[in-house]
């Protein structure tokens, strides 16, 4: 194994406990889309199952199936509408609840339900201002009328999604929530047991009034905050470390360069080691020359262009052993630090950790 991500299960448990205590009595939906934010869907779901996490959130029937196959016994919710009748049929057959807001998917869902002779459990999404998915508030009552008497559709929940919840005291979050609550109150007169949910990590942390029945937590569970400026109101711990092996070492003389474009040149005689991780594994090309690695408790600079499968490190006067491991994402260089240095966001660094990276639970 040349390149691997260590997934610290006790840190995931710690973050989830902290988040649960914070949002209690609301329930938690752990969002595991995009390979559990790069952490590996299967191991994360298995840990979540042991921790009795109430809900798991995914974006497709495929991801839902992976959650199911991983042995998860709690409730699963799919953020996207099923793409076709087969997807709808799969979700209904496994009691997986899913998003529903379009007329087209309503039709497909009814057909799939009839095929199975089993009703679908749905949560209708309301678009309160994010303007991605969901019903416009003015369409809401008409849609509820449409589904109200259909025995194929069981309306279990109503939900929405915030566009600006990564910072506290944002007016737009309050407006979105107000609009959502207004419609939810109306709907509850007909469906008194509706589950209401709106908050992501930012919503859950900074807007207690938005916690409602359950919160959909992604980034927070993995130990990060939604943005660089998000206040650190609880002590989250990153769950993932990225490690790789040194595969080669060259003693460069002054003036010799390394990697494509020879963008970095040695100023003096120095050991340059090659590490087996590249941009295809999620180390951004943009981070070239800006990140470091930890090796034997010392910090060494990454130098030259990051390649598809490898990058170079200036080990200076230290001769590193081929086959030794270095740490790339670790306590003092988190995914957030790498995101800052690459002009992107923490989410992109985590979800960019590629399929060649083995996930090892510790």
Which residues make up the interface to ligand PLP (CB under 6 A)? 31, 79, 161, 200-202, 216-220, 226
CB of 218 to ligand PLP, least distance (A): 2
**Selection from 238, 332, 213, 347 nearest residue 15 by Cα:** 238
Of 273 and 282, which has the nearer Cβ to ligand PLP?
282
What minimum distance in Å lies between the beta carbon of 27 and ligand PLP?
14
Residue whose beta carbon is closest to ligand PLP: 218
Q: Of 339, 264, 253, 255, which Cα lies nearest the Cα of 303?
A: 264
Please name which of 300, 323, 297, 324 lies closest in space to residue 312, comparing C-alpha atoms. 300
Nearest approach, Cβ of 343 to ligand PLP (angstroms)? 19
- Which residue lies nearer to ligand PLP by CB, 209 or 324? 209
Report the nearest approach of ligand PLP to the CB of residue 310 (Å): 30
Active site residues: 33, 260
Residue closer to ligand PLP (CB basis): 31 or 144: 31
Of residues 66 and 99, the one with the C-beta less far from ligand PLP: 99
């Amino acid at each position: 194994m040349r390149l691997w991500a260590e997934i610290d299960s006790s840190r995931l448990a710690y973050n989830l406990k902290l988040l649960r205590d914070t949002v209690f009595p609301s329930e938690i939906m752990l969002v595991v889309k995009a390979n559990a934010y790069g952490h590996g869907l299967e191991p994360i779901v298995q840990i979540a199952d042991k921790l009795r996490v109430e809900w798991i959130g995914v974006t497709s029937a495929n991801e839902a199936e992976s959650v199911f196959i991983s042995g998860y016994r709690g409730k699963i919710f799919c953020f996207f509408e099923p793409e076709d009748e087969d997807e709808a049929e799969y979700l209904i057959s496994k009691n997986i609840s899913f998003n529903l807001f379009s007329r087209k998917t309503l039709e497909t869902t009814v057909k799939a339900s009839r095929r199975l002779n089993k009703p679908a459990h749905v949560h209708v999404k309301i678009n309160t201002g994010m303007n991605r998915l969901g019903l416009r508030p003015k369409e809401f009552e008409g849609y509820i009328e449409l589904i109200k008497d259909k025995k194929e559709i069981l309306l279990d929940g109503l939900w929405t999604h915030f566009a600006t919840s990564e910072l506290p005291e944002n007016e737009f979050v309050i407006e979105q929530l107000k609009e959502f609550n207004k419609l939810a109150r109306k709907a509850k007169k007909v469906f008194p047991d509706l589950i209401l949910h709106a908050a992501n990590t930012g919503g859950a942390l900074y807007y207690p009034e938005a916690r409602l029945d359950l919160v959909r937590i992604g980034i927070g569970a993995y130990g990060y905050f939604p943005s660089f400026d998000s206040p650190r109101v609880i002590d989250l711990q990153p769950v993932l470390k990225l490690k790789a092996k040194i595969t080669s070492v060259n003693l460069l003389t002054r003036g010799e360069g390394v990697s494509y474009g020879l963008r970095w040149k040695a100023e003096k005689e120095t050991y340059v080691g090659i590490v087996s991780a590249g941009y295809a594994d999620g180390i951004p090309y943009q981070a070239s020359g800006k990140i470091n690695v930890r090796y034997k408790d010392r910090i060494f600079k990454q130098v030259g262009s990051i390649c598809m499968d490898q990058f170079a490190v200036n080990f200076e006067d230290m001769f590193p052993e081929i086959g030794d491991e270095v740490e790339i994402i670790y306590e003092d260089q988190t995914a957030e630090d790498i995101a800052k240095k690459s002009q992107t966001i923490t989410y992109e660094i985590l979800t960019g950790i590629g399929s060649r990276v083995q996930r090892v639970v510790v």
